[in-house]
Structure 1
């Protein structure tokens, strides 16, 4: 049995998963209660934690893997946090509070945090296992895709959400002829309305990404390697590589096998505790109030709340206002709240398609409830604060849309 390097009087806290949620949690907890726990972080990837959001910049060649490392090794040592990289937890015994690793080692804990993230979904279609079919999820995927510029001339990215657009843009930057195929009638349908998505589509095409909408992929053709992609309407396009970016699935099997309650993800209460006492979950693997967010900001909010609770503070998680504020295919995009604004909502829109600018505010009962910004995302943080606070914005609509008025010269 392997134990933590325990200091007298400290509880043993084991974190399974070494991604962005886990790292933020450890940062918060060691700041709030540096002497309360002996912390061990176990990650199945061989590298230290990195910023997954920036993988597309690595693929594009703008950043290196070292550039996206969240914390260097000396930070973990200085924080007195043990890290086991390249190790996989295969079993949880919640009754005895013991973990089993793939090596056969066992580790006891007082408290356990599951931050196991999610995995990429692959469509169950013919040819999905051919050589040349990839996902876009982690460092290994990026390393494989980075080699395509030298081998593949034509790639098809399946999926028109954030990941798909980022993968397509990164490959285009490497000189690959890229087609993005999306089953829906607009890009990023979970974040954008039709007008905003149309502007993003045009901007992405200007950056070298060919877009196919209403494209339901039914088959990947080839003998040993990818040769073509076929769609439900009978169209086929040649391809040397295919990248699946059709969504993610929470990694909840470890909890499920331990008889911890799971739905789509690991079910947690407002204290982010699972059905097993002393076992918590945050990030993409967690399901709170029926929602698996799959986004960074909710994971960070959960990390802050749980760190506060484990530091002895009174804190609870009541859900997150979903927002996106990223550079997508080289284009700044912000979306938050009820961005469609259907029903009795007031929708204020300002756009300049030629400049690639789109701004939309959704107001209901004098409260800002949603927003979309494309091209120019200045003021996004203020808009998100207003959505979260529910403040009265009836006197500031023009300022929110166009910025503060210019002062007259004295």
Structure 2
């Protein structure tokens, strides 16, 4: 399409109509209001019944971490304050380009002088047999989220078709709704449009650790069921049961309105460098627009388009829109990911790579003809904004030394990232907010928080990926006057932090979750899936004797005292202290396995026996037959104490590791903790029980013991820190108990000891527990908590609640 010759004009109360109330179109209107706020009579039509909201953050709504109000960008009052006529629930169905007016399905006729089409895109639904069954939905808007949340109350097996960003966000939200979720992807790597195979595999491993399941390189042939979907059948003949199927396989520009009324379309609505269509005074912006053969789906390019279009419509001198360098910086299920420019190795590129498997960090920067052309970051995206600037400007490869050093173990400079950035460099790529703009706003308007900066400049308002950089810039600008680190609320239901909630529970004598929510004015009645388990834990930790455990607030595995498996059966793990058993226990386990037709009996990595494939209805009878303590394989509690054979049998052993492990396991079993806790005892520094990667690891040495803390053997491997050296077994139990209780009282719910030790600091913990009086007080409080606990399964049986509980669960 040829570019039209730019015309400067006088704007005087022109009628401006925007079709589409989404992020791209309304952002363009925001720019127009800044440039010529009294020059247009603005009308906006939106199909959805909501004001403008952040579609990027729909996953938070789905996960229960946010409500709709939390993701609203421009509320109802904003339209009113800016004299904008908003028509929600109205779909424009006809454009009369000759008489310059639009018609809606609700009977509204609106004239225009300028018309902006921001109709966005529609989710692509695979044309599969069975796609019209109930329970088969897309994931695109608020309505889809609401349908998924309602389905999760009744159904438990979900399948998400599509392993891209949208599919993974949907899967994470469904996991948070306690659904069993499997992601089906036609390719062998996830997010193949943003990540290279290495980053993709790292992401998959992390998501699997969170409970997400994957069927890779699978092609769905049909969905089967009678009225509601019951499962998927694949081209290789295999099947997967599912009563909710979410299709997240891509989007298509919504061009039907334009195509039906003489506006040129290809894949999207064709526009030139000033976002003009082939029809005079009709423009297109956002996901529906096709510019130079490209349709953009990320928010930053859409906002760049809107900025150019706003200036063009207002008659303000502007550079043409010449396309965007794509970048993605986001959290996928809590994992930091960044991608920009070219990210796949080619014959004419070379790469700088850094990979730290222990900390789950991977970085790759691609160079072509000595210019930086692309990057992929996983686990640590702090360099993302700077890299994006270098890619956009076509910087020389020598600039990488400021980020990754020169090699041979040399680290990058520890100086502030924002300090070395030029004032015109972008902090917020989504909204086009530069470093200089933010500094000016902080200095001229006295801004002192990220929220204030967001409200004033728009930085971090969209994807939120730049929030840490905005925080750093705030601290850099304010210098010594920078005071508090902004608190992290427990969840979106409250603005209160973990410490504020716990302090209120103590000072106000709050004893139930309902009481906490009422007194502390929770925004959402009944709370959400994030805060309910946390409050139940904090109440039990503060008031171990008074608080009645709220089982309905616990995660499903804790409610059933067994781990749910991918086929809907359960895994039962009796406790075997220190990995030492006897013929009586083995006989009980063998009899139960035979009686309840257990398909697999497995020795676990924690030296226990796992009975896999138990039916839900058999769980209470099986536990009664076993008459053994629960191994808490499902719980936020002590899981196992792994031991080596020790000095009794091993010629290298210096201590009795078996007895020490049994003593520790019996000491701490049934103690609820912020997250799962694993321990190990090794009889010598050869460390056969892997004590160095446990939450608490004990190693026998000549004349005593070494205690290590904060280890983690998961995806983000972390070696434990040497905590203390002691001489006797009694001291091992004393220091371990004090450490455990201090962790219980100060950690956030769902915070592993590895993260807690790094956050609080090993030296702080050592100094706190150095006092014998402090250790004694902590242990006394721990003993109070243990005194009122029993094996959860026996407790349920004694209270005669287990049958009612399971009957209810089976019915539901």
Q: TM-score, normalised by structure 1?
A: 0.95
Q: Which residue of 2 aligns with 1:148?
A: 151
CA offsets, 1:185-228, max 9 Å, x none? 11011111111100011111111110111010111111111111
Tell me, in whole angstroms, the C-alpha distance in 2 between the residues paired with 1:135 and 1:73.
27
Q: Which residue of 2 aligns with 1:170?
A: 173
Q: Which residue of 2 aligns with 1:245?
A: 248
Q: Which residue of 1 aligns with 2:412?
A: 404
> Which of residues 351, 354, 361 is equivalent to 1:357?
361
User: Greater CA deviation, 229-238 or 8-17?
Assistant: 8-17
> Which of residues 49, 61, 64 is equivalent to 2:67?
64
Greater C-alpha Rg: 2
Match runs of 1:241-390 below 5 Å: 241-315=244-318, 316-390=320-394
Tell me, in whole angstroms, the C-alpha distance in 1 between the residues paired with 2:17 and 2:110.
9
User: Greater CA deviation, 96-105 or 243-252?
Assistant: 96-105
Tell me, in whole angstroms, the C-alpha distance in 1 between the residues paired with 2:303 and 2:259.
24
State the Cα distance separating 1:112 from its structure 2 match.
0.1
Q: Which residue of 1 aligns with 2:212?
A: 209
Contact 1:361–1:401, Cα closer than 8 Å, also in 2: no
Q: Does 1:233 align with 2:236?
A: yes
State the Cα distance separating 1:401 from its structure 2 match.
3.1
Q: Which residue of 1 aligns with 2:13?
A: 10
Tell me, in whole angstroms, the C-alpha distance in 2 between the residues paired with 1:178 and 1:356.
24
State the Cα distance separating 1:246 from its structure 2 match.
0.3
Tell me, in whole angstroms, the C-alpha distance in 2 between the residues paired with 1:356 and 1:310.
48
User: Greater CA deviation, 68-77 or 258-267?
Assistant: 68-77
Q: Which residue of 1 aligns with 2:25?
A: 22
State the Cα distance separating 1:351 from its structure 2 match.
1.5
Larger RCO, structures 1/2 (Cα 8 Å, 6+ apart): 1
Q: Which residue of 1 aligns with 2:732?
A: none
State the Cα distance separating 1:354 from its structure 2 match.
4.0
State the Cα distance separating 1:406 from its structure 2 match.
4.3
Tell me, in whole angstroms, the C-alpha distance in 2 between the residues paired with 1:74 and 1:228.
45
Match runs of 1:105-116 below 5 Å: 105-116=108-119
CA offsets, 1:105-138, max 9 Å, x none? 3111000000000011110011101011111000
Contact 2:403–2:413, Cα closer than 8 Å, also in 1: no
State the Cα distance separating 1:72 from its structure 2 match.
1.5
CA offsets, 1:300-319, max 9 Å, x none? 11111111111212321101
State the Cα distance separating 1:146 from its structure 2 match.
1.1
Q: Which residue of 2 aligns with 1:3?
A: none
Q: Which residue of 2 aligns with 1:4?
A: none
Contact 1:158–1:164, Cα closer than 8 Å, also in 2: yes
Contact 2:404–2:412, Cα closer than 8 Å, also in 1: no
Tell me, in whole angstroms, the C-alpha distance in 1 between the residues paired with 2:391 and 2:97.
40
CA offsets, 1:238-259, max 9 Å, x none? 1111000000011100000011
Contact 2:13–2:39, Cα closer than 8 Å, also in 1: yes
User: Greater CA deviation, 150-159 or 73-82?
Assistant: 73-82
Tell me, in whole angstroms, the C-alpha distance in 1 between the residues paired with 2:414 and 2:175.
41
| CA distance 1:354–1:127, shift in 2 (3 Å) | farther
CA offsets, 1:254-279, max 9 Å, x none? 00001100001100000100010100
Unaligned runs of 5+ in 1: 1-7
Unaligned runs of 5+ in 2: 1-10, 406-410, 416-812
RMSD over aligned CA atoms reads 1.4
Tell me, in whole angstroms, the C-alpha distance in 2 between the residues paired with 1:173 and 1:399.
40
Tell me, in whole angstroms, the C-alpha distance in 2 between the residues paired with 1:382 and 1:125.
44
Tell me, in whole angstroms, the C-alpha distance in 2 between the residues paired with 1:285 and 1:82.
23
User: Greater CA deviation, 226-235 or 162-171?
Assistant: 226-235
State the Cα distance separating 1:237 from its structure 2 match.
0.9
Q: Which residue of 1 aligns with 2:57?
A: 54
Contact 1:169–1:330, Cα closer than 8 Å, also in 2: no
How many residue pairs are counted as aligned between the two chains?
399
Tell me, in whole angstroms, the C-alpha distance in 2 between the residues paired with 1:200 and 1:356.
9
User: Greater CA deviation, 398-407 or 369-378?
Assistant: 398-407
Contact 1:199–1:353, Cα closer than 8 Å, also in 2: no
Q: Which residue of 1 aligns with 2:162?
A: 159
User: Greater CA deviation, 351-360 or 225-234?
Assistant: 351-360
